């Protein structure tokens, strides 16, 4: 063999030893693991279909947890290693906890995801009639491209409290035979002026009106008979009046079900991957861990899409109070427990999309099928509005994932100065907790129909389980 060929062989060897592998994740995962990923994602799709709002996600997660022996948390009790408890915060946020052998002595391990997603909320006085069509006025929630929400089949999900204190749950548009709803759009033949506008202005937020009826009440007198007929139907089915909308949380979301995408069925398309694609693996990891050394928490928070403010968001104190209760049960100071704790901010990142390659910096993007994405920082404009994981914690996470054969990658949220965003990581970091973002890459994030890889979803579960099951 010539010296020239020896140098070539050395280069290949060095590249293997020193460089990050750029091959597809499929080449690094066994066929057995891929089968497990497919099986895991079947139950994930079911979870998505039953969890289109934060309230529904909490309800579904509690049912799963109770089936595995979790009981409601009681701050007046003392718990022992292996006990499983949950704290339901107002039906819109949830903490699942598995008490560890060492309890809180060396801190707790947290996987914190959010379960709210962009959507259309109803205004307090939503129902009106115009030109013999009945409409609901909406106020969009979270960061959306408004044009994506027109001419789209929508379902209605809600929780309503009447004056007498009784409650009503509403779900219309999900079951076979249910009616569905939509925001109308202007036909191309009449849209020359609309089509001259920017995408941000083509559909105004105040025009995201939801079509809900067109048949008038069968009466010879009276005004707004279409509106009245819609209200009559709602009253007959749910016993509500127009005033009851004032004390209601009613959301309109895409009506379609989660489905496989691609001839190879390697992907899942659905509404609400951001961030239920991390919430579900975190829940399942908490259900699967049996005897952790440190107490483990799977936290499902609300309000992330609008800044995490409010008493069910992680910019409130509900998680800190829960950890304080655990600490005090063991005779420890809550601040000492928090200072020793570690957290995966379980949130998604933007997968590289070759159709829109100019929005990304390819060497620092995450990719579909590349495994779970570890994001050192998010933010925008010089890393503002974010925490940043330390080199020490990044090193610890790398070692943990590598040791347990969890397929992982890193990624930024697009180009520098190209935009940006935030997660709940900074609110956890403000409690003096070591935290890093770790989640699933998503295509078409915040669209009504988002795409994820089945392999990446399963690797998120493996990452959270490995984190919970790790040695102190």
Nearest to 372 by CA among 282, 308, 240: 282
Q: 141 - beta bridge partners? A: 119
The contacts of residue 430 (CB under 8 Å, 6+ apart) are: 387
* Position 221 confidence tier, pLDDT thresholds 50, 70, 90: confident
User: 59 — phi, psi (to 5°)?
Assistant: -60, -45
* Position 5 confidence tier, pLDDT thresholds 50, 70, 90: low
Q: How many CB atoms lie within 10 A of CB 236?
A: 9
* Position 1 confidence tier, pLDDT thresholds 50, 70, 90: very low
Nearest to 253 by CA among 448, 429, 402: 448
CA angle at 236 for the pair 233 and 240, rounded to the nearest 5°: 90
* Contact (Cβ atoms closer than 8 angstroms) between residue 238 and residue 168: yes
* Contact (Cβ atoms closer than 8 angstroms) between residue 308 and residue 314: yes
Q: What is the mean pLDDT of residues 232-251?
A: 97
According to the model, what pLDDT value does residue 26 have? 81
According to the model, what pLDDT value does residue 326 have? 98
* Contact (Cβ atoms closer than 8 angstroms) between residue 252 and residue 210: yes
Q: Which residue is it, tokens 């829940």?
A: 283
Weakest-pLDDT range from 273-277, 286-290, 301-305, 376-380: 376-380
pLDDT at 160 over 50: yes
Q: How far apart are CA 325 and CA 332, in angstroms?
A: 10
Q: What is the mean pLDDT of residues 376-382?
A: 90
Q: How many CB atoms lie within 10 A of CB 15?
A: 11
According to the model, what pLDDT value does residue 188 have? 96
pLDDT at 3 over 60: no
pLDDT at 119 over 90: yes
* Position 141 confidence tier, pLDDT thresholds 50, 70, 90: very high
* Position 16 confidence tier, pLDDT thresholds 50, 70, 90: confident
Tokens of 304: 């992330």
Q: Which residue is it, tokens 């009449």?
A: 190
* Position 419 confidence tier, pLDDT thresholds 50, 70, 90: confident
pLDDT at 22 over 80: no
Q: How far apart are CA 330 and CA 104, in angstroms?
A: 7
Q: Which residue is it, tokens 């890459």?
A: 441
Question: pLDDT tens-digit profile of 270-293?
Answer: 999 999 999 999 999 999 999 899
* Contact (Cβ atoms closer than 8 angstroms) between residue 239 and residue 157: no
Question: pLDDT tens-digit profile of 183-219?
Answer: 999 999 999 999 999 999 999 999 999 999 999 999 9
pLDDT at 251 over 70: yes
Q: How far apart are CA 249 and CA 161, in angstroms?
A: 9
Q: How many CB atoms lie within 10 A of CB 197?
A: 13
Q: What is the mean pLDDT of residues 446-471?
A: 97
Q: Rg for the chain (alpha carbons), in Å?
A: 24
Q: Kindly report the length of the chain.
A: 472
| pTM score above 0.85 | yes
Q: What is the mean pLDDT of residues 153-170?
A: 97
User: DSSP labels for 280-337?
Assistant: HHHHHHHHH--S-SS-EEEEEES-GGGTS-STTSTTSSHHHHHHHHHHHHTT--HHHH
The contacts of residue 14 (CB under 8 Å, 6+ apart) are: none
Calculated CA dihedral for residues 438, 439, 441, 443, nearest 10 degrees = -130
According to the model, what pLDDT value does residue 4 have? 56
């Amino acid at each position: 063999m010539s010296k020239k060929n020896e140098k070539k062989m050395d280069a290949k060897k060095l590249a293997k030893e020193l460089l990050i592998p750029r091959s597809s994740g499929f080449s690094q995962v066994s066929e057995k693991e891929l089968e497990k990923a497919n099986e895991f994602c079947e139950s994930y799709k079911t979870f998505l279909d039953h969890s289109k709002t934060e309230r529904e996600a909490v309800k579904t997660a509690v049912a799963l947890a109770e089936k595995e022996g979790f009981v409601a948390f009681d701050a007046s009790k003392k718990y022992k290693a292996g006990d499983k408890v949950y704290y339901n915060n107002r039906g819109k946020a949830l903490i699942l906890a598995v008490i560890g052998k060492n309890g809180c002595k060396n801190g707790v391990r947290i996987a914190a995801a959010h379960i709210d997603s962009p959507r259309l909320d109803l205004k307090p006085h939503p129902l009106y009639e115009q030109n013999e069509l009945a409409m609901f006025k909406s106020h969009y929630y979270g960061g959306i491209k408004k044009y994506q929400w027109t001419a789209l089949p929508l379902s209605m999900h809600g929780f309503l409290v009447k004056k007498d204190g009784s409650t009503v749950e509403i779900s219309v548009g999900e079951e076979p035979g249910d009616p569905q709803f939509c925001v109308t759009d202007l036909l191309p033949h009449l849209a020359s002026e609309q089509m001259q506008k920017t995408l941000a202005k083509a559909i105004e937020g105040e025009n995201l009106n939801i079509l809900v009826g067109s048949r008038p009440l069968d009466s010879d007198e009276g005004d707004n008979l279409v509106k009245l007929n819609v209200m009559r139907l709602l009253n007959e089915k749910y016993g509500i009046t127009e005033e009851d909308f004032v004390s209601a949380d009613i959301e309109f979301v895409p009506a379609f079900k989660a489905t496989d995408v691609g001839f190879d069925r390697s992907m899942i398309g659905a509404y609400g991957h951001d961030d239920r694609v991390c919430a579900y693996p975190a829940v399942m990891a908490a259900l699967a861990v049996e005897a952790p050394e440190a107490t483990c928490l799977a936290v499902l928070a609300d309000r992330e899409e609008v800044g995490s403010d409010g008493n069910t968001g992680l910019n409130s104190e509900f998680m800190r109070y829960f950890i304080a209760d655990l600490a005090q049960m063991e005779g420890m100071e809550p601040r000492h427990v928090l200072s020793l704790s570690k957290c995966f901010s379980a949130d998604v990142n933007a997968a590289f999309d070759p159709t829109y390659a100019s929005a990304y910096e390819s060497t620092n993007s995450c990719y579909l099928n590349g495994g779970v994405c570890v994001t050192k920082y998010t933010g925008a404009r010089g890393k503002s509005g974010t925490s940043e994981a330390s080199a020490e914690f990044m090193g610890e996470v790398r070692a943990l994932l590598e040791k347990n054969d969890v397929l992982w990658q890193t990624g930024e949220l697009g180009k520098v100065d190209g935009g940006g965003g935030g997660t709940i990581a900074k609110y956890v970091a403000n409690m003096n907790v070591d935290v890093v973002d770790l989640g699933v890459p998503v295509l078409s994030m915040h669209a009504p129909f988002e795409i994820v890889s089945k392999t990446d979803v399963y690797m998120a579960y493996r990452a959270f389980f490995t984190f919970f099951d790790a040695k102190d």
